[in-house]
Amino acid sequence: MNLKVAIICGVLLAAGCTPGPKQAISPRFNHVMLYVSNLEKSIDFYTRAFDLQVTNRLDTLVATQPDGNKLVRLVNMAFLKFKNQDFVLELSQNSVDTTNPTAFLFQHLGVDVQDIDAAYQRALDAGAAVMVPVRVVKAKGIEAKQAFVGGPDGERVELMQIVAGEF
């Protein structure tokens, strides 16, 4: 098992994934997103190696910015879950564009919250850097309010309040 796989397995186990209905706990870790070079190959690996199940696939993401402008982004993503667990492994087939700082937003830690405005302000009060302010995002079967903040070492943290649908 290589180091990347070992880390992923550890994160999934440590994230508090428990069987049963959706947790009413907020905030809680919701997902981890990783870039992969070949989505189909990665899906095959994670489903065969860990019995993860593909729960959704996205090809388009529409983000409504705070000023009302819509940003449409073509994506090639899949959401995978363990049976009877809510925690999501989000895989995105993507090359890292080191010339575009917002491209790094895709590799992040996702935190599920019930009140995104309060969670966003709390993160800012704790010293988080603003990366993307609260906005509405829609994709196949999902509508959410989201924001990205930067942690003390520049790590990206996505705050997400699900409005409709699920991963």
Whether the pTM exceeds 0.75: the reply is: no
Domain formed by 3-18+25-165, architecture:
Roll (3.10)
Express each pLDDT in 126-161 by its tens digit: 888 899 999 999 998 899 999 998 876 677 888 899
Task: Check residue 121 and give its pLDDT.
Answer: 92
Name the percent of the chain lying above pLDDT 90.
33
Nearest C-alpha neighbor of 59 from the set 116, 155, 141, 126: 141
Residue 105, pLDDT score: 56
User: Residue 96 has what pLDDT?
Assistant: 61
**What's the whole-number average pLDDT of the chain?**
79
For the chain, what are the domain ranges? 3-18+25-165
Share of the chain above pLDDT 70, in %: 76
How confident is the model over 31-77, as pLDDT tens digits?
A: 888 888 889 988 887 888 667 799 999 999 999 999 999 999 999 99
